[in-house]
Structure 1
Amino acid sequence: MSFVQTAVTGELKSFEERTYSKVIWRIIPLLFVCYVVAYLDRVNVGFAKLQMLQDLKFSETVFGLGAGMFFVGYCLFEVPTNLLLYRIGARKVMTRIMVTWGVISCLTMFVTTPTEFYFIRFLLGVAEAGFFPGIILYLSQWFPAERRGRVTALFMTALPMSGVIGSPASGWILQTFAGVNGWAGWQWLFLLEGMPTVLVGIVVWFYLDDKIESAK
């Protein structure tokens, strides 16, 4: 009897491991990409700073205030966004977050005045609000507490990878595309790093499941 129980228990554990492994490989790679593009859209203003100051004649104060407006919008709308995510599901909210912030990031290329800069950065913060906590909430719906630490650690590897990818990519865009079609390098930076976010957001809509019960 003991042998049978041991065999059954071992088989159940093996099945559980295979199941969670499939879930990890379905969810984590896409969330990894989501975080990378989110990081790029959040920090590309820093890479664009020198060219923007020169072209738009912004002072350091104007630029610093504009960059900080992102966090005002982010903080104000973080909790409401996560409540919405919990209420209507990850797929809808994550798609909304990524598509809107990608579009807003692209629109930053048309900024010409300090007021426009403040406004677009505030909107970017509003659009991206709830993204990271929302992902953690989403993972908590798929993985029990004893597995959540490992899964979160896998997802968090996107943070250093974002820096590895983002810095050279941004520098390359600023240098290579400067003057193309009459646009400055910083304008191309916002456009080319904003467009992938929109595309990834569309992928989220078709690929992610709102919850375990609706998983295919």
Structure 2
Amino acid sequence: MPLLFVGYVVAYLDRVNVGFAKLQMLSSLHFSEAAYGLGAGFFFIGYFLFEVPSNLLLHRFGARRWIARIMITWALLSMVTAWVHTPLMFYVVRFLLGVAEAGFFPGMILYLTYWFPSHRRGKMTALLMAGIPVSGLLGGPLSGYLMHACNGTWGLEGWQWLFIVEALPSLVLGFVIYRCLDDRVADAKWLSSEEKRLIQDEIDADAVVRTHGSVRAVFGSARVWLLCLVLFGVVMGSYAIGFWQPTIIRGTGIDDPLMIGLLTMIPYSVALISMITVGRHADRTRERRWHVVVPALVAACGFSLCAANGDSSLLSMIGLTLAVSGVVSALPMFWALPTAFLGGSGAAAGIALINCTGNLAGFISPTVIGWLKGYTHTLASGLVLTACTLTLSAVLILVFIPARLVNR
């Protein structure tokens, strides 16, 4: 779990650091808001197209080899972003970065099903996805510092140093994972034979109740496609934060990148506590639906507050804290829903399908919000749209996902 956690921290950092780079990148390269939004979103087109094949390959060849391959290739492409100088180059590199990273997160969710039964997986998924707020806690100040202190060093601007330096941990960790990660319980030399048997018995007993065990069953399931839509709404909120949080803070009158980076620590600190607390409570009560619904509605309220008070630093920070805490708590709890009934190759395909389809919001969110900001000269309309998608996701869960299917 520590190794997976660190991997997810650096993955999320490399995925959304373009939101900080934007503070200097747009003026340096003369990009429009719409061009930035489109480029930020192109990542998710590559991600969408290669997600299911990548996860099936992970299931076949093992997490150790495949996750290591993913991390090394995306680190190299993230570094290359430092040298783009036209919108087309930006679009191509972001697309290839999505191709490289495809399969990383659903591969980790699938990997957890190899090691933990459903009644323990909520807490473990929350621990894994604690990488999001921790990435924000570390990445915000680091990104702000690099852009502030390294601007002009060796002829490179601060935003270029950001992409280069923040890709290095992914590159190193890729080799560490290849050397250290165990694919299955049976491969773990640090477990005794009795411990291996006990864990595997729990996993096998958990697998008996799963109903979607093949790729065909997954693609023909209305419930799986419904969860794709639910995740789409929640991810709209996630990337509204990832790509636009620095812009929201700057809109209140704070211009220094380092100060903006430090202020992002506040929402992520609260979110870290929130998601761990919610994950533990969900496993203790074995209730899954409301542990997604309530955080999603809290996030919707937070985005609405930001939209209505964009010129107030205090109210915007309160809104951002609610939004970040809600989204970050809802995401790991969401994954308890599909993993409750997906198994075998169906789990590999289903988790990847839900994740890649839901993550199309990563393309829609920055593209639409960027276009709306350019058209209306304010982020308010985009934030209201995000609040609506989160509310819709909460309603769909309550109406169409029966408690008996997922509460265990």
* Counterpart residue identity of residue 65, structure 2: K
Shift of 1:84: 0.5
TM norm structure 2: 0.45
Aligned residue number for residue 74 of structure 2: 101
Aligned residue number for residue 8 of structure 1: none
1:35-74 residue pairs with structure 2 within 5 A?
35-74=8-47
CA–CA distance in 2 between the matches of 1:206 and 1:179? Answer: 37
Shift of 1:77: 0.9
Shift of 1:114: 1.1
**SS state of the match for residue 112, structure 1?**
coil
Answer yes or no: is 1:111 the counterpart of 2:84: yes
Aligned residue number for residue 157 of structure 2: 184
Match of 2:96 among 123, 128, 150: 123
Match of 2:144 among 162, 171, 174: 171
Aligned residue number for residue 159 of structure 1: 132
RMSD between superposed Cα atoms in Å? 1.0
Shift of 1:130: 1.4
Shift of 1:209: 1.1
Aligned residue number for residue 181 of structure 2: 208
CA–CA distance in 2 between the matches of 1:130 and 1:198? Answer: 17
Shift of 1:153: 2.2
CA–CA distance in 1 between the matches of 2:50 and 2:184? Answer: 23
CA–CA distance in 2 between the matches of 1:150 and 1:187? Answer: 37
Aligned 8 A contact 2:76 2:167 in 1:
yes
Length, aligned pairs only: 189
* Counterpart residue identity of residue 146, structure 1: H
Aligned residue number for residue 200 of structure 2: none
Provide Cα deviations, 1:42-75, integer angstroms capped at 9, x if missing partner.
1111101121111111122211111110111111
Shift of 1:214: 2.0
CA–CA distance in 2 between the matches of 1:96 and 1:35? Answer: 15
Aligned residue number for residue 105 of structure 2: 132
Aligned 8 A contact 2:63 2:183 in 1:
yes
CA–CA distance in 2 between the matches of 1:87 and 1:141? Answer: 13
Shift of 1:169: 0.9
**SS state of the match for residue 17, structure 2?**
helix
* Counterpart residue identity of residue 187, structure 1: Q
CA–CA distance in 2 between the matches of 1:153 and 1:54? Answer: 38
Shift of 1:104: 0.3
Shift of 1:143: 1.5
Aligned 8 A contact 2:18 2:40 in 1:
yes
Task: Identify the range of structure 1 (151-160 vs 77-86) with the bigger mean alpha-carbon deviation.
Answer: 151-160
CA–CA distance in 2 between the matches of 1:205 and 1:213? Answer: 17
1:139-154 residue pairs with structure 2 within 5 A?
139-154=112-127
CA–CA distance in 2 between the matches of 1:110 and 1:167? Answer: 22
Shift of 1:142: 1.2
CA–CA distance in 2 between the matches of 1:147 and 1:53? Answer: 45
Provide Cα deviations, 1:167-201, integer angstroms capped at 9, x if missing partner.
11110111111111010001100000011110011
More helix by share: 1
Shift of 1:164: 1.1
